[in-house]
Amino acid sequence: MLLLARLNAMSAFMCEAFRGYKDIPSQVVARDLKSKGISQYSWYPANGCIGVTYGNVSCYYYVRDGKIVDIIFD
């Protein structure tokens, strides 16, 4: 059985990279998932995007300037 938990923390290097932005990408993604009723998920930094896994779904969020520009489902 796979258990997923919401992660609020980002690693130090990712926080530093987004210093000065109103919303860091993980916050944008968390808001989108919450709006879809998804509360149990895990995320990880991927190649220029944020990878998210919830249930049997894997997806990749591309965030630019505080906005989601694309979501790819795997």
Q: Domain segments of the chain: what residues?
A: 12-73
- Buried b / exposed e across 33-60, counting CB within 10 Å, b at 16+? beeeebeebebeeeeebbbbebeeeebb
Residues 6+ apart with CB under 8 A from 72: 49, 59, 60, 62
Q: So what's the pLDDT on residue 74?
A: 86
> Is 31 in a helix, a strand, or coil?
helix
73 in helix, strand or coil? Answer: strand
Taking only the tens of pLDDT, the chain with its 74 residues reads: 445 555 444 444 444 444 555 568 889 999 999 999 999 999 999 989 999 999 999 999 999 988 999 999 98
This prediction's pTM: 0.69
